[in-house]
Each structure stands twice: as structure tokens, then as C-alpha cells.
């Protein structure tokens, strides 16, 4: 699509080789609004990646932007460590009123460092402290972040190897459907817990994503999640739901575990909680688990006040109206599902299956290399979509929840053309 080659020289010479997403999308982005990003030449790209799920309400959302600009103009506190501020008070009150109370969720709110992985680190520390045990069970193909504690409960071999030291005290178990439904749920896990000879140190906690985003859009069934909650309860293990990518309405309801009717002991939230792409994270847990000493998990950027302002505006705008947001997301999800069903009918040999919930979908290709070709061709045609899965075999779709049905349709048509063009 780009006519003049973009000037990427400073990125290629000065920026570290660790850069990654820019390799999939070799242009220089300049502006973004709603469901579209624009490069320096003004070429528009429909964004079905949304900052890895951190822009559920679209780019530069007008309502959130107004709240942010108003706060900057009145010299509202920008940096405040974890001091009490007006913006934090308003966020906490709004979160309590619109999210926790209507769902009967008995959580206290912790602000860890602003990244998802820091929320996971805090959750793991707290679980280990509460139970006085070290082992945490995670699942095959899980992704929980890139710092050492989070990597120890992450599946991906390349990312784990980056740690450079042994990753200890994490034990992987099969995620839902990992064994193709041939084995009853939790047979292996339960057996290891019961058998004094199994070698499994009794875990402090289990950490799970209800839909594995980086792991290839693997969707856990509600009954599997209920079975897991029950297993944790019966065996005195805390259940941590990592809702960093799938929370904030991505799967429909505000929290992705609502559909299963479970109440995790600890929940991590990040990415779209600020709604504007500003870094912000939460760890939620019941009062009995609030065992922290003051400052025991500390950090300079635990009080990102501009993020509290946009987070409050996002909750007021999209979550004050009961189930309206969830209904809209489900309707758009149906639109995606129908388009993907047609794509599968057209390419039965190339596509293994598609899967998803709400507005997160994945298309698994028979040949993993094809997924990268489809993502690359989509970029050429003006659509941003990434790959995920252990072999990057899945094209992952994460459009903004606020996308119009017409834009959604346009993106799905580009995707279908990209699949056809790469046959």
C-alpha cells in the first residue's frame, strides 16, 4: 500500500534488536483515531490489534481525551507515587459503584506498577505469602508477562529461555482441551495432588487465563473453569485469574470469568483498564488476603493519575448502562463468527479451525507459516492483525469494542482477501 518507502533508518540503526511489532508493520505510524491508525504518508490501517488489547475503546477516544485534557489543563496531579489524589478517589469510587458492587465482588484494589507483568508479580507474591507455600500451577501455552516470576508461569520456550536463569516454583498442567478431550478434566492434576509420591509440592495457587491470548486464542469452557475453581477450593489453593488481556469487556462481560459464574481469589487487570493506552494495572483480592505490609510491593509509578482519569471516564461512558456494552460486544462477535465460518467453508484444507468469544478471535492455519503470510498481506491491504500461538500458527483478531459494524465488516473482508491472496 505504501508508495514511498518509509524512513525506518533510525529505528534500524539506533533502536535495539529486541523491537518486535514494528517488524510486522514496517511503516511509521503518526496519528490514530477510533478504529484506525495512519502512517506518516496518511495511509489508513484498520486496527484489529488495538495495542495488544490495551485500546478496547479505540484510539484517542473522544470522551476519554476530553477528560484527560481537562485534567491536564487544570494542573491535576500527573505523578503522585501512591499518594491519595482526587483522581484516584474518583476512580476507586466509580470502580466500586459500576463494576464491583453490581457483580457482588468483594475485592480490595491494589495498584502495583503500571505493567501487566508487575500485576502478575504482585499476585504471585501475595498468594505465596498467604499460603506460606512456593509452588504455583499454571497452564500449557499460558502467557503472564516477561519478568522472572511471570515467566516462570509462562509456557513459551523462547520467552522462558530469555530469562537466562532457571525459572523455579512453577508447574504446568494441561489447559482445557490440551489433550483433545481424550482425558477427563483435571484427571492428571487431581491425581498429582492426591498422591504423596507424585513429586508435586502442594501449590499455593493456580494462575489461569480464561482465554489464552498470546497462547493462540484457546478458550476455556465455563464448566472447565468451574471445575478448576472447585478443585482449588477443595485443595486449599488460591485461584488467580489473569484478566489482563481478556478483561475490560473483551470477551463480553467486564470480567472474562463472569460467564463461568466463578469468583477468583485474586484477579489481575491491566491493558484496557485506563481505556486510553496509558499504563495502569490493578490487583484485586478479598480482604482476608490483604496481608501486605505497607510498601511491601512498592514502585515509583503506582499512581498514574492521568490513567485514573481516563479509566473513570471509560467506566462512566461504557459500563454505567448495565449489560448494554456486553450485548453490543456479543452482537459484533456474532458478526465475526459468521465471517470466519464462511472463511473456513472456503478454505477447509488451509484452516484448522477458528475460535473465540466476544471480540477476541483466532484462526488457526494448517501451515503455521501461512498465518504470518496472511497477517503480512493484511497489512499491505490496510489491516493490522497479529499472530499468536506456540508456533505463531494463529491469526489473532482483537478489534476495538467500539468499532462500527461497517468497519468490522470492512476488516473482515480485507482478511478474507488476504487469505485468498496467500493461497
Ligand X SMILES: Cc1ncc(COP(=O)(O)O)c(C=O)c1O
Interface with ligand X in residues 47-76 (CB under 6 A): 52
Which of the ranges 112-120, 289-297, 375-383, 390-398 carries the binding residues for ligand X, by CB under 6 A?
Answer: 112-120
Q: Does 402 help bind ligand X (rule: CB under 6 A)?
A: no
Closer CB to ligand X, 213 or 275, in the complex? 213
> Which one of residues 209, 258, 326, 393 is an interface residue with ligand X (CB under 6 A)?
209
Q: Does 141 help bind ligand X (rule: CB under 6 A)?
A: no
> CB of 250 within 8 A of CB of 176?
no
Kindly state the cell numbers that stand for 302: 503506582
The contacts of residue 359 (CB under 8 Å, 6+ apart) are 250, 251, 329, 332, 333, 336, 397, 398, 399, 401
Q: Does 214 help bind ligand X (rule: CB under 6 A)?
A: yes
Q: What share of the chain is helix, strand, coil (3-state, %, to 5)?
A: 40, 15, 45
Tell me the closest approach of the beta carbon of residue 128 to ligand X, in angstroms.
Answer: 18
Q: Does 383 help bind ligand X (rule: CB under 6 A)?
A: no
> Which one of residues 245, 263, 305, 378 is an interface residue with ligand X (CB under 6 A)?
245
Tell me the closest approach of the beta carbon of residue 120 to ligand X, in angstroms.
Answer: 5
Q: Does 121 help bind ligand X (rule: CB under 6 A)?
A: no
Tell me the closest approach of the beta carbon of residue 125 to ligand X, in angstroms.
Answer: 15
> Which one of residues 270, 304, 312, 402 is an interface residue with ligand X (CB under 6 A)?
270
Name the DSSP letter for residue 196. Answer: T
Which of the ranges 4-12, 70-78, 140-148, 282-290 carries the binding residues for ligand X, by CB under 6 A?
Answer: 140-148
d(CA 123, CA 100): 19
What's the order of all strands across the beta sheet hosting 360-365?
351-357, 360-365, 394-397, 386-388
> CB of 246 within 8 A of CB of 401?
no
Which of the ranges 19-27, 116-124, 216-224, 302-310 carries the binding residues for ligand X, by CB under 6 A?
Answer: 116-124
Whole-number Cα distances in Å, 173 to 102, 146, 181: 33, 20, 14
3-class DSSP state for residue 38? strand
Interface with ligand X in residues 323-342 (CB under 6 A): none
> Which one of residues 115, 135, 141, 251 is an interface residue with ligand X (CB under 6 A)?
115
Tell me the closest approach of the beta carbon of residue 145 to ligand X, in angstroms.
Answer: 4
Closer CB to ligand X, 274 or 317, in the complex? 274
Tell me the closest approach of the beta carbon of residue 242 to ligand X, in angstroms.
Answer: 5
Q: Does 145 help bind ligand X (rule: CB under 6 A)?
A: yes
Q: Does 213 help bind ligand X (rule: CB under 6 A)?
A: yes
> Which one of residues 34, 113, 116, 264 is an interface residue with ligand X (CB under 6 A)?
116
CA angle 129–300–256, rounded 5-degree value:
60
d(CA 114, CA 305): 11
Residues binding ligand X: what is the number (CB under 6 A)? 15
The contacts of residue 319 (CB under 8 Å, 6+ apart) are 98, 99, 249, 254, 325
In 3D space, the residue among 234, 210, 216, 124 whose CA is nearest the CA of residue 169 turns out to be 124
In 3D space, the residue among 262, 184, 268 whose CA is nearest the CA of residue 230 turns out to be 262
Tell me the closest approach of the beta carbon of residue 170 to ligand X, in angstroms.
Answer: 14
List of residues contacting ligand X (CB under 6 A)? 52, 115-117, 120, 143-145, 209, 213-214, 242, 244-245, 270
Amino acid at each position: 500500500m505504501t508508495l514511498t518507502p518509509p524512513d525506518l533508518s533510525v529505528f534500524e540503526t539506533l533502536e535495539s534488536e529486541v523491537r518486535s511489532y514494528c517488524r510486522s508493520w514496517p511503516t511509521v505510524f503518526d496519528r490514530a483515531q477510533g478504529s484506525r491508525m495512519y502512517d506518516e504518508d496518511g495511509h489508513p490501517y484498520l486496527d484489529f490489534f488495538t495495542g495488544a488489547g490495551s485500546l478496547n475503546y479505540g484510539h484517542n477516544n473522544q470522551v476519554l481525551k476530553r477528560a484527560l485534557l481537562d485534567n491536564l489543563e487544570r494542573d491535576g496531579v500527573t505523578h503522585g507515587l501512591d499518594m491519595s489524589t482526587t483522581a484516584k478517589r474518583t476512580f476507586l469510587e466509580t470502580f466500586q459503584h459500576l463494576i464491583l458492587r453490581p457483580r457482588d465482588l468483594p475485592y480490595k484494589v491494589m495498584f502495583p506498577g503500571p505493567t501487566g507483568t508487575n500485576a502478575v508479580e504482585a499476585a504471585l507474591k501475595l498468594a505465596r505469602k498467604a499460603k506460606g507455600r512456593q509452588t504455583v500451577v499454571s497452564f500449557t501455552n499460558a502467557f503472564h508477562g516477561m519478568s522472572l516470576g511471570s515467566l516462570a508461569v509462562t509456557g513459551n520456550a523462547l520467552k522462558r529461555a530469555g530469562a537466562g536463569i532457571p525459572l523455579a516454583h512453577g508447574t504446568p498442567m494441561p489447559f482445557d482441551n490440551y489433550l483433545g478431550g481424550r482425558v477427563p478434566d483435571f484427571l492428571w492434576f487431581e491425581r498429582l495432588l492426591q498422591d504423596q509420591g507424585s513429586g508435586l509440592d502442594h501449590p499455593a495457587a493456580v494462575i489461569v487465563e480464561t482465554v489464552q491470548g498470546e497462547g493462540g486464542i484457546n478458550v476455556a469452557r465455563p464448566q472447565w473453569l468451574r471445575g478448576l475453581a472447585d478443585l482449588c477450593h477443595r485443595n486449599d489453593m488460591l485461584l488467580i485469574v489473569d484478566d489482563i488481556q481478556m478483561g475490560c469487556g473483551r470477551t463480553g462481560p467486564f470480567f472474562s470469568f463472569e460467564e463461568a459464574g466463578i469468583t477468583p481469589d485474586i484477579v489481575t487487570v491491566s491493558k484496557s483498564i485506563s481505556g486510553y493506552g496509558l499504563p495502569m494495572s490493578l490487583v484485586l483480592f478479598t480482604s482476608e488476603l490483604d496481608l501486605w505490609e505497607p510498601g511491601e510491593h512498592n514502585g515509583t509509578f503506582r499512581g498514574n493519575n492521568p490513567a485514573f482519569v481516563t479509566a473513570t471516564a471509560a467506566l462512566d461512558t461504557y459500563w454505567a448502562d448495565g449489560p448494554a456494552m456486553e450485548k453490543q460486544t456479543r452482537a459484533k462477535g456474532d458478526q465475526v463468527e459468521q465471517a470466519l465460518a464462511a472463511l473456513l467453508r472456503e478454505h477447509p484444507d488451509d484452516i484448522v479451525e477458528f475460535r473465540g468469544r466476544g471480540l477476541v478471535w483466532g484462526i488457526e492455519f494448517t501451515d503455521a507459516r501461512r498465518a504470518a503470510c496472511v497477517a503480512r498481506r493484511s497489512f499491505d491491504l490496510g489491516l493490522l492483525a497479529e499472530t499468536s500461538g506456540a508456533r505463531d500458527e494463529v491469526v489473532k483478531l482483537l478489534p476495538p469494542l467500539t468499532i462500527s459494524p461497517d468497519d468490522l465488516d470492512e476488516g473482515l473482508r480485507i482478511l478474507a482477501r488476504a487469505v485468498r491472496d496467500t493461497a
